[in-house]
Structure 1
Amino acid sequence: MGDLFDYSDYGQLLGLVHNSLIAAALLGLVGGLVGVFVQLRDLQFAVHGISELSFAGAAAALLLGANVALGSVVGSLLAAALIGGLGVRARDRNSVIGVLMPFGLGLGVLFLALYEGRAANKFGLLTGQVVAVDTVRLNWLVGVSIVVLAGMALIWRPLLFVSADPEVAVARGLPAGLLSVGFTLLLGLAVSMAVQVVGALLVLSLLVTPAAAAFRVTASPVLAPVLSVVFAVVSAVGGILLALGGSIPISPFVTTISFVIYLVCRAVSARRVRGGWGHRLPAAAAPTPVPIP
């Protein structure tokens, strides 16, 4: 175990991951909010599909010597546009994602195989790196975060209504299709952020698990996003703090914290049901917001 963990210089090491901690906090904020609608709209599979093309874009940028963050964003937006534009119905959407996933993963593997640089750069795209976030990449992440948060603030209420009761929302004149495409593009940006911190393989731990845990303990359209953000920030920042000083990538720590939080929320939910405190929200269910006039 001594070869895997060494916290003797933890204070000095902490200064090296200042940018990574900021990036993780931003990712937790964005991922927690976006994850609420991932649950509401049953887009868990889409998150994984988008991450594969995000990985391919990042790997292509790495091979060409371009900005890896930009490559990740381009790949994510391309996947999001295809999913949002072609996958109108759930069955169509899942079919498109099923086609994109192996294609994106295959391209990413090809680009990494052709890349002759450091092996750590290749591995980091898949599983994340503790000190991978330099100032340039952090600036990209801040910019993407601002875009996603501004977009979510703009469409939050109508998207919540459309997600809860699409037929009534359309009858009241809300552009359900446009909102769906818009959110999918914002989801793509959020996925590209996650790839930069935890790698392409484990983005679900920050874009799905925290919101799923939150919905286990509350059906409130106000409290659920708050808990989702808290769970995501704790998972991302806590993962970095635990991984610091070890030779293990950040991803196992992030995913473990996220999973433990989910298990605790499930236990709390089960206890509430057995104790007659209230009814547990099913895993696939979503809080029902008050209709928007």
Structure 2
Amino acid sequence: MTGDGLPAEGDGPGVRQRIFNFDDYGELLALVHNSLLAGVLLGLVGGLAGVFVIRRDLPFAVHGISELSFAGGAAALLLGLNVVAGSIVGSLLAAAAIGLLGVRARDRNSVIGVVMPFGLGLGVLFLSLYQGRAANKFGLLTGQIIAVDTPRISWLLTISLVVLGALAIVWRPLTFASVDPEVAEARGVPVRALSLAFMLVLGLAVALCVQIVGALLVLSLLVTPAAAAARITASTTLLPVLSVLFALVSMEGGILLALGSTVPISPYVTTISFAIYLVCRLATTRRGRAARDLRRSTPRRAETTA
């Protein structure tokens, strides 16, 4: 502040106001109805696909696919094409490569380790050549909520319906193949075909999530909610329900908080999803400790009674 009480030239909103600023919040809320709908779609897709990501130990694959999705979106941005379509192409190429070349877990991790830096390098190259708005570059990495216009929501809705329909078709055999692949293959379940099919579905899910939360933090929707749900239940029915619920809370909560700040949406989504996971983990730890204490006290009670 200057001596006459006026703001100095370098003064601006404080850190807290930049993170949480709800001035004119009602007016802003009316502008993001497409984003809120996109959040519902991402919660459903991320929560359901995340169940198999956890069961099949594929978090690293999600990260690898997201890097190629980022490269595809960056290439489309550079060429003036549809960014969503570019992200889809990049995701499907990465998913197909991982699914075909990485049948075993060791091979899969090696393929991902090769694909991921290649995709990230391509994305950085394309963005460095792009001369348009910096916000478009930043949005591909960390997400944005204001860019979900009507054409993009149509793309997101179409992709979501494809992913949800595919998951509905393969849910039961994929669950069997994920829990016990040897027995499933012995009973005639096409384990390898299902694995490749799920990788392609996962590629579409990653491309969908990248549009809102960005390529760097897509794990917060496709891994963390399902991992949190898996900490508190092993039920084949309750696990996907809780995973979707946690993903919806993270996504919608992140949108509503990001709306009142100048910070991108991704830190809010990741913080909420991490907080949910932490609560679930602490609850499981406390429950396990109580069970151990009960087992230890039972023999003593029996000896006292005798």
TM-score interval, normalised by the smaller of the two chains = over 0.9
Tell me what 1:218 maps to: 233
TM-score, with structure 2 as normaliser:
0.89
Q: Any idea what the Cα deviations from partners look like across 1:71-123, whole Å, max 9, x if unmatched?
A: 00110000000000110110110000000000000000000000000000000
Aligned counterparts of 1:3 and 1:40: Cα–Cα separation in 2: 39
Structure 2, unaligned runs of 5 or more = 1-15, 294-306
CA shift, 1:277, in A, is 8.9
CA apart distance, 1:210: 0.3
Of 231, 240, 251, the match for 2:246: 231
Matched, 1:187 2:207: no
Partner of 1:19: 34
Match of 2:161 among 137, 143, 146: 146
Instruction: Give the equivalent residue in structure 2 for 1:253.
Output: 268
SS at match of 2:262: coil
Aligned pairs for 1:28-107 within 5 A: 28-107=43-122
- Structure 2 distance, partners of 1:171, 1:247, is 55
SS in 2 for 1:39: helix
Matched, 1:169 2:146: no
Letter in 1 for 2:55: L
2:30 aligned counterpart, secondary structure: helix
Larger Rg: 2
- Counterparts of 2:19 and 2:269 in 1: how far apart (Å)? 17
* CA–CA distance in structure 2, aligned partners of residues 7 and 259 of structure 1: 24
Unaligned residue ranges in structure 1 (runs of 5+): 279-293
Question: Are 2:277 and 1:266 equivalent residues in the alignment?
Answer: no
Tell whether the 8 Å contact from 2:217 to 2:266 is kept in structure 1 after alignment.
yes
Measure the CA separation in 1 of the matches of 2:196 and 2:243.
23
Aligned to 1:110: 125
**CA deviation map 1:19-44 (0-9, x unaligned):** 11111110010000000000000001
Q: Is the contact between residue 20 and residue 257 of structure 2 (CA under 8 Å) also seen in structure 1?
A: no
Distance 1:89 1:113, change over 3 A: same
Q: Confirm or deny that 1:158 pairs with 2:185.
A: no
CA distance in 2 between counterparts of 1:131 and 1:77 reads 26
Give 2:209's aligned amino acid: A
How far does residue 4 in structure 1 lie from its aligned partner after superposition? 4.3
Corresponding residue of 1:290: none
Please name the residue that 1:286 is paired with: none
In angstroms, what is the RMSD of aligned CA positions? 1.1
Residue 130 (structure 1) shift = 1.9
| Residues 42 and 251 in structure 2, CA contact (< 8 A), matched pair in contact too | yes
Structure 1 position 132, deviation (Å): 1.4
- 1:198-233 superposed Cα distances (whole Å, 9 cap, x missing partner): 000000000000000000000101000000000001
Task: Tell me which residue corresponds to 2:141.
Answer: 126
Pair 1:155–1:277, CA change in 2 (3 A): farther
Identity %: 72
The 2-side partners of 1:55 and 1:277 are apart by: 46
CA distance in 2, matches of 1:101, 1:112: 17
Q: Deviations over 1:124-182 (max 9, x none)?
A: 00000121111111100000000000000000000000000111100100100000000
Q: What is the CA–CA distance in structure 1 between the aligned matches of 2:170 and 2:73, rounded to whole Å?
A: 28
Aligned to 1:7: 22
Q: Distance in 2 between matches of 1:202 and 1:132?
A: 18
Q: How many residues align?
A: 278
Residue 245 of structure 1 deviates from its aligned partner by 2.1
Q: CA deviation at 1:275?
A: 1.7
AA matched with 2:39:
A
Amino acid paired to 1:186: V
Q: Which amino acid aligns with 1:219?
A: A
